[in-house]
Structure 1
Amino acid sequence: MIGLSEKEKLLLKLLQEGINLEIRPFKTLGEKLDLSEKEILSLIQKLKEEKIIRQISPIYDTKSLGYDTALVAFKVKGNIESVAEIINSHPGVSHNYERNNSFNLWFTIAVPPDSRLGLERTVSLLAKITNSNDFVILKTVKLYKIGVKLDFNNLKEKEVIRKNEDEQNNIVLTEDDKKIIKITQDDIPMVEEPFRIYADKLGMEQEDLLKKLTSYKEKGIMRRFSAILYHRKAGFKANGMTVWKVPEDRSDEVGYKLASYRSITHCYKRTTNEKWQYNIFSMIHSKSKDELDQFVRELSQEIGINDYMILYSTKEFKKKRIRYFSDEFYKWEDIALRK
């Protein structure tokens, strides 16, 4: 990571792995870096002001919360900025990029379990509003990896991937659970006891809140409580969504092999249709396009798949975590249904 001290690099690595769910998490973090709690808080604030750290908060599992999600691609022939602006108005759109393909606008969208429109109808409505008649909805069939940790030095670095063959058990969230998730998804307060701030807003004891958050992590409702970086400011300027056309009987083999590379932060098997035949998606972050191109050529030889495309993001229209259980979802649907 260009221009950062070794201590700052280590701090970012630890923050991306996740902070402890305890009363004084920054004190524990400081002990690992031989810094005081005050020094750690000051350093994190500095990295936020420099637009290296985007946010520190829980990464909740969208599916475990009951939301229906998909990756969607539109073919936009007119003004792509105006189309993106309309799509971004939906509170369930977390990422939205222009990419170098005839399907040139790619976004992820989620709708709550009690949505009156549902996912497919929501996407169809967005297509109608934006006059984008050609689009594909690509749902996740299998997740091989998800976890943006931009702390590698070489694209070929590997890690052990736990194969999760079992789907999450059906999780029933109470209204109290939803309130906790709604409050704690805010960026963590930069104070010695940050969870006390959340607890006070919820009218509960800090220790009880920490027990709840720990249980969410154990059940898979929360993946981790960690930092998300501005990847370009962190030195990773090339972002290539590489899609592969893999025979059905090799999809798991290829998916897990790709996921083992630390530079591949997301890896999914997705649905296909007559318009889109690429079933394995791998998101790769690199310091340069040339480096990424070469890495993918080597991957192609390793896995024996020659039919692939690298879809580079040429413009970022939106990158923002979804605010779960927000009233904004229902307000958006109210307006959409009146049109």
Structure 2
Amino acid sequence: MDAAKKQLLGLLQRGLPLVARPFAELGRTVGWTEEQVLQFVRDLFSSDAARPLSAVFDARRLGYRSVLCAINEPNPERLAQLAGRVAAHSGVTHVYERSWPTELDPHSSGGPGAAMLPNLWFVLAASQTKFEAAAQELRDFVAPYAVLFFPARKRFKIDVVFEPEQLANGENFPDDDSPCEELSVIQQELVCLLQGALPVVPDLFAQLAQRVRLSEQTVLAQLCRWQAAGVLRRIALAVRHRSGGFKATAMCVWSVAAERIIAAGRALAAFPEVEHCYERATLPAFRYNLFAMIHTSSWLQTQRLFERLAGAVGVTDGRMLCSVREFKKSGLTYFAGKSVVQGKR
């Protein structure tokens, strides 16, 4: 992949510019025509190298809540059956087996050793007013298994930009108690439309505006306001990291003293190789409170990166929970049931 394509791939993941001709604007940045940019994006989709173009919102600002959850099932066959049950729940968006790859010694750095760690990890999401009911429904759904909930305490980094040479450190949101955005019916319809697979066309925002019965200028102004307020993070594509060579993904966890957690989290988040980075609640069954996601092209490289990060930040007593199977990956659906029909690419 040449320099222009690498640059464009990073820009597409960071987000489209909120202007009338976003692909033309990207083309000017990398020295391409608008049609060349559009064809590049279409080729990414046709080769299944990227997920569809869509908006990424801050769930909290739209009145939603999401929590990382886990269950332990050591039997591989029963684990797959359990994962199917969990994935069938309408509020679950991501489901992974996170355990230890056969290529690595379980007693080596980051390994579980003889410990029994939760191995089925997933995200439960629902509106704030319905979350507790959804959580209880999930517990009933998977009984007699116990569901562990790991709510975020501090968010140090959210960054999902995959580049051929490294991950780009382009987004760092502080914790805040910002109020939920009160949306009109038309604004909710716009959110519904934006979270679908958006069309790859020159006048994207004009077409979206037509579907919600607003002018293009009004839609762009609204998107700019949402972005400035932190409601809208970006409108972007997501690279399928396995297609991009990032085949060995691990959720790294450490147990860090309360007085060091902020410094350690900020230091870890500063590394471009780190994607998400959170402080999460601990439980008697899982005492780790600092979480970070990393990706490389092999498990050995991921392990070496884990060691380098831990040494640089000064954290010990860590584990790598490696994503060895993906059962489900989907986005949270906001305002389900609204009348707008989602677009197709």
TM-score normalised according to structure 1 size = 0.88
Cα distance between partner residues in 2 of 1:70 and 1:162:
19
Partners of 1:97 and 1:107 within 8 A in 2: yes
Cα distance between partner residues in 2 of 1:240 and 1:128:
29
Moved more, 50-59 or 237-246: 50-59
3-state DSSP class of the match of 1:107?
Answer: strand
- Given residue 23 of structure 1, which amino acid in structure 2 is its aligned partner? A
Cα distance between partner residues in 2 of 1:263 and 1:132:
38
Partners of 1:75 and 1:132 within 8 A in 2: no
| Percent of matched pairs sharing the same residue | 29
Whether 1:194 and 2:204 are equivalent positions in the alignment is yes
Give the Å deviation of 1:277.
Answer: 0.9
Partners of 1:244 and 1:278 within 8 A in 2: yes
Give the Å deviation of 1:165.
Answer: 5.2
Q: What pairs with 1:13-28 in structure 2 (closer than 5 Å)?
A: 13-28=10-25
Correspondence for 2:88: 89
Task: Report runs of 4+ in structure 1 exceeding 6 Å deviation.
Answer: none
3-state DSSP class of the match of 1:137?
Answer: strand
Cα distance between partner residues in 1 of 2:264 and 2:314:
9
3-state DSSP class of the match of 1:70?
Answer: strand
Moved more, 90-99 or 160-169: 160-169
TM-score normalised according to structure 2 size = 0.87
Correspondence for 1:113: 128
Correspondence for 2:186: 176
Q: What pairs with 1:38-49 in structure 2 (closer than 5 Å)?
A: 38-49=35-46
Partners of 1:74 and 1:132 within 8 A in 2: no
Gaps of 5+ in 2: 100-115, 339-345
3-state DSSP class of the match of 2:59?
Answer: coil
Cα distance between partner residues in 2 of 1:145 and 1:297:
20
Give the Å deviation of 1:301.
Answer: 2.0
- Given residue 112 of structure 1, which amino acid in structure 2 is its aligned partner? S
3-state DSSP class of the match of 1:134?
Answer: coil
* CA shift digits 1:110-149 (9 cap, x unpaired): 111342xx33x42343233333422210101110000201
Give the Å deviation of 1:193.
Answer: 0.3
Whether 1:309 and 2:316 are equivalent positions in the alignment is no
Give the Å deviation of 1:284.
Answer: 0.6
**Which of 143, 146, 164 is residue 131 of structure 1 equivalent to?**
143
* CA shift digits 1:160-211 (9 cap, x unpaired): 8757254324432333321111111122211110112211211111111111
Correspondence for 1:35: 32
3-state DSSP class of the match of 2:333?
Answer: coil
Give the Å deviation of 1:55.
Answer: 2.0
3-state DSSP class of the match of 1:300?
Answer: helix
Correspondence for 2:102: none
Cα distance between partner residues in 1 of 2:176 and 2:66:
19
Correspondence for 2:160: 148
Give the Å deviation of 1:40.
Answer: 1.3
Count of aligned residue pairs for this structure pair: 320
Partners of 1:91 and 1:323 within 8 A in 2: no
Cα distance between partner residues in 2 of 1:201 and 1:165:
35
Cα distance between partner residues in 1 of 2:96 and 2:164:
24
Correspondence for 2:300: 290
Q: 1:195 to 1:90 in 2, by over 3 A?
A: farther
Cα distance between partner residues in 1 of 2:40 and 2:50:
11
Correspondence for 2:103: none
Give the Å deviation of 1:66.
Answer: 1.0
3-state DSSP class of the match of 1:223?
Answer: strand
Cα distance between partner residues in 2 of 1:129 and 1:279:
27
Q: 1:72 to 1:132 in 2, by over 3 A?
A: farther
Cα distance between partner residues in 1 of 2:54 and 2:317:
38
Moved more, 273-282 or 86-95: 86-95
Cα distance between partner residues in 2 of 1:258 and 1:165:
16
Q: 1:68 to 1:98 in 2, by over 3 A?
A: same
Cα distance between partner residues in 2 of 1:49 and 1:137:
37
3-state DSSP class of the match of 1:98?
Answer: strand
Cα distance between partner residues in 2 of 1:152 and 1:257:
24
Q: What pairs with 1:205-216 in structure 2 (closer than 5 Å)?
A: 205-216=215-226
Give the Å deviation of 1:69.
Answer: 1.3
* CA shift digits 1:7-51 (9 cap, x unpaired): 322211110121111111011111122222112111110111111
Cα distance between partner residues in 2 of 1:35 and 1:321:
31
